[in-house]
Structure 1
Amino acid sequence: MLRTLTRKVMAMGLGIATALGGSLLATGASSPAHAAVPDTIPMTITNNSGRGEPVYLYNLGTELSTGRQGWADAGGTFHPWPAGGNPPTPAPDASIPGPAAGQTRTIRVPKLSGRIYFSYGQKMVFRLTTGGLVQPAVQNPTDPNRNILFNWSEYTLNQDGLWLNSTQVDMFSAPYTVGVQRADGGTATAGRLRPGGYTGVLNALRAQPGGWANLIQTRPDGTVLRALSPLYGVETGALPATILDDYINRVWQKYSGSTLTVTPFGDRPDIKYSGRVSGGVLHFTNSSGAVVTSFHKPDASSVFGCHRLLDAPNDQVRGPISRTLCAGFHRTTLLTNPNQPDSGAAGFYREPVTDHYSRIIHAHMADGKAYGFAFDDVGHHESLVHDGNPRQASVTLDPLN
């Protein structure tokens, strides 16, 4: 199944408002109620990478009208995946020839929640299990895509419009910018690095003590392919599993004697939850004093992955609280601000041990916005474009410099 940002930012209806603190409800409300989103819209892929290798495109996802997983061809026709197997069986070749360097190619995207993959030099390898598509997992050294330079964007196109984002939740790799053209002809873009930002990120990771340089993966010929997220850094041993223990312990100690207040919805400031640690467990109560959810002390994997001990179901209580906690841990603002979320980026990543991966990526983005971790949209720091009546989408493959 699709993972990372598709699981939350690209949720439908109420889930979108929950994830983004109500911001998309406001955005969607401004779209004309009568404007029907067509079954497909054009997406222009521009190759400004400066690389001479062929580019291959893939549009993979879930068909919203049926819930089927599959792929879309260049004309926007959806094709469901055939049955997979155990062990996994090869998926049909869903590749679309991409534009050469300096060229543009326009495809059509249907109403899916999915990913636009692009690879340089060779086609990607996809397989099918009995449960659906196997996504690339390059933290595994035996993954068939390990030595391919590739990346992906995530999107949902539905009756309420288009949501399209760039992402570094799993890895930082070949850079790109996403965009949407609105009905009035105006455009919005997100995900563009500053000039020199690609090498800037990699050099900053190399210079950061504590194992952060170990996140960078290269091909046998020395070509840099990507930097893994800190979650995969912990899982592979590139980062120590105890890297956040001191900070987490200090957070638990602080809120054993004081209250952490979480106001998870940007458009509903009256909804607040109060957190206190008792018996080693962080309990949150509502305005009536009733315990609504509790969290055991997380480890680095739970924090970096926003999962396990910080699981965030798509509900109206635990999920929003967990998203806020996860953002506070990544940005290391929980000791400096007992009122979360902390939306002021000036105070983020100030601890000596923090999510340096996300810190460095944000510092090298043209507008400071990125998806450095799963809930980077808390406080609206995400690299996302949305329009309720889109005319055209775009993905620009940017230079690796």
Structure 2
Amino acid sequence: MLTELKRLALPLAAAAALAAALTTPAPAAPRPVAAAALPDTIPLQVTNNSGRGDPVFLYDLGTQLSTGQQGWADADGTFHAWPAGGNPPTPAPDASIPGPAAGQSMTIRIPKFSGRIYFSYGQKLVFKLTTGGLVQPAVQNPSDPNRDILFNWSEYTLNDAGLWLNSTQVDMFSAPYAVGVRRSDGSLSETGHLKPGGYNGVLNALRGQAGGWGGLIQTRSDGTVLRALSPGHGLETGALPASVMDDYVNRVWQKYATSTLTVTPFADQPNTVFSGRVSGGVMSFTDSSGAVVTSFQKPDADSVFGCHKLLDAPNDAVRGPISRTLCAGFNRSTLLTSSHQPDTDPADFYQDAVTNHYARFVHTQMADGKAYAFAFDDVGGQESLVHDGGPRQAYLTLDPLS
């Protein structure tokens, strides 16, 4: 999804292998096993419960895991590589699949891919190709050709080790949907549904939150609400001030200048512990031997909301896991209430006046409380993800905008 891949350490990575030309963060794909455990494609049932009368268009875009090629899949799951792009970008081939009408379902097949399943209402999406690959929608840019289209997407990785499928609000909260998987034992796992009234609940909560949070909401000229941008994109558009997280970050830096922040990043490795202290304006972490293993400059709001830049998280065994933990602690505002992180109790999240209110409102309105409202929302198992090693079928359900 974007020019910067920001979620490289997550267990799901719908678009981690996408080219640098793409437009939003995604987690890293799980490694395939040596022996083929799954067929080349599996069925995806798409159900339109939106109640909308306008046509739906589907897209299955990503990177073919066996070759590393970018492309799209048609309704039968057949892969098509993108042609060469240009500078300026050239139109991409029409990869749309006509979706189900309101109240109906249809089944397509999805191939072994790391990518996204887009859906749009009323209009086809506009995709273009550069010399570096596919340019995906970036509606924080007012000149993006998809700015006035109602759309959303799911992320997935399907390989020989199984299916990872999620709903995401990392970039925006828009047309609601849920994802599901029929497991190898026949049971169904599903996530992503909002509570009744949850769609408007999120939007109304943002409108009522002081400090510019209502400015994240984008509407069409006719007044139709299209989406709420994530706070990181809100910084880009000027909806949120660059100083929106400064007070909390400053208090964290002050606290850990005189006390220790203990990070145990792996739930299954309780003896892997890192200790953080602020000195000279820098938070440095030591391992059990006392050796400094990594350090962080005081992060700004963009680094916090995007879990990148000053909170970069490489896919390694030290800095990445510590950074993921810090990112979750800043977004959920748990770093002052507990000096042992990660704090995985949802009752402790978003209790400070300075917090990621967007993530707070999204989680509050989810039927199961789970969402991908920021890049490392999987810390503590709060992500909206389904997974199975031998999936029989995947599901995408388009829900009402109410």
TM-score (norm 2): 0.93
Distance in 2 between the 1:128 and 1:376 partners? Answer: 31
Shift in Å at residue 183 of structure 1? 1.5
Correspondence for 1:395: 396
**What is the letter of the counterpart of residue 368 of structure 1?**
G
Deviations 1:216-264 (A, max 9, x none): 0000000000000000111111001001111101100100111001011
* Residue identity opposite 2:298 in structure 1: K
SS in 1 for 2:256: helix
* Aligned residue number for residue 111 of structure 1: 112
**8 Å Cα contact 1:5-1:169 kept in structure 2:** no
Matched letter for residue 247 of structure 1: Y
**Are the structure 2 counterparts of residues 36 and 178 from structure 1 closer, same or farther at C-alpha, using a change threshold of 3 Å?**
same
CA distance in 2, matches of 1:11, 1:224: 29
**How far did 1:199 drift?**
0.6
> Are residues 1:359 and 2:360 paired?
yes
For 2:20, the equivalent position in structure 1 comes to none
Q: What is the aligned partner in structure 2 of residue 324 from structure 1?
A: 325
Distance 1:329 1:292 in 2: 21
Describe the SS at the equivalent of 1:200: helix
Alpha-carbon separation, structure 1, partners of 2:91 and 2:267: 44
1:278 pairs with 2:279: yes
Residue equivalent to 1:92? 93
1:150 matched residue in structure 2: 151
**What's the CA shift for 1:185?**
1.2
What is the match of residue 338 of structure 1? Answer: 339
User: Does the aligned pair in 2 maintain the 1:183–1:391 contact within 8 Å?
Assistant: yes
Alignment of 1:123-272 (within 5 A): 123-272=124-273
The CA deviation string for residues 327-370 of structure 1, in whole angstroms up to 9 with x for no partner, is 00000000110000000010100111110000000000001110
- 8 Å contact kept, 1:216–1:228: yes
In the superposition, relative to structure 1, how do residues 97 and 6 fare at CA in structure 2: closer, same or farther (>3 Å)? farther
Tell me how far 1:89 sits from its aligned partner: 0.6
1:10 counterpart letter in structure 2? L
In structure 2, the gaps of 5 or more residues are 18-25
* CA shift for structure 1 position 9: 3.6
The answer to whether the aligner puts 1:39 opposite 2:40 as a matched pair is yes
Whose helix fraction is larger, Structure 1's or Structure 2's? Answer: 1
Distance in 2 between residues matched to 1:272 and 1:223, nearest whole Å:
49
Point out 4+ residue stretches in structure 1 off by more than 4 angstroms.
1-7
Deviation at 1:69, TM superposition (A): 0.6
Q: CA deviation at 1:266?
A: 1.1
2:10 partner amino acid: K
Separation (CA, whole Å) in 1 of partners of 2:401 and 2:8: 25
User: Closer, same or farther in 2 for the Cα pair 1:223/1:7, shift >3 Å?
Assistant: farther
Give the structure 2 partner of residue 71 of structure 1: 72
Residues 261, 339 of structure 1: 8 Å contact kept: yes
Distance 1:235 1:334 in 2: 26
The size of the alignment, in residue pairs, is 388
CA offset at residue 8 of structure 1? 3.4
Letter in 2 for 1:81: W
Alpha-carbon distance in structure 1 between the residues aligned to 2:395 and 2:6: 21
Q: Which amino acid aligns with 2:398?
A: L
Residues 205 and 360, structure 1, Cα contact 8 Å, conserved in 2:
yes
Give how far 1:10 is off.
Answer: 2.6
One-letter identity of the residue aligned with 1:279: G
Write the distance in 2 (CA, Å) between the matches of 1:349 and 1:209.
15
The aligned residue for residue 383 of structure 1 is: 384
The code of the aligned residue for 1:48 comes to: N
Verify the 8 A CA contact 1:10 1:113 in the aligned structure 2: no
Give 3-state SS (helix, strand or coil) of 1:180's partner: strand
1:8 alignment partner in structure 2? 10
* Maintained 8 Å contact 2:276/2:284: yes
**Aligned residue type for 1:275:** G
Counterpart Cα distance in 2 of 1:229 and 1:395:
22
Q: Deviations over 1:181-232 (max 9, x none)?
A: 0112110001110011001110111111111100000000000000000001
Are the counterparts in 1 of residues 9 and 313 from structure 2 also a CA contact under 8 Å?
no
C-alpha distance in 2, partners of 1:191/1:292? 37
Mapped partners of 2:275, 2:376: distance in 1: 20
Q: Confirm or deny: 8 A CA contact 1:6 1:154 kept in the other structure.
A: no
Please give the secondary structure, in 1, of the residue aligned with 2:257: helix
Identity over aligned pairs, percent: 74
AA matched with 1:326: C
Once residues 321 and 6 of structure 1 are traced to their aligned partners in structure 2, the CA distance between those partners, rounded to angstroms, is: 13
Partner residue in 2 for 1:83: 84
For the 8 Å contact 2:13–2:155, the answer to whether it is kept is: no
Q: Distance in 2 between matches of 1:275 and 1:6?
A: 23
The one-letter amino acid of 1:57's match is: L
Deviation (angstroms), 1:5: 5.4
Which residue identity does 1:91 align to in structure 2?
Answer: A
TM-score between the two structures when normalised by the length of structure 1: 0.94
Inter-partner Cα distance in structure 1 for 2:45 and 2:293: 46
- Kindly indicate whether the alpha-carbon contact (under 8 Å) linking 2:334 and 2:343 is maintained by their aligned counterparts in 1: yes
State the distance in 2 between where 1:301 and 1:49 align. Answer: 33
2:177/2:193 contact within 8 Å kept: yes
Q: What secondary structure, in the 3-state scheme, does the structure 2 residue paired with 1:108 have?
A: strand
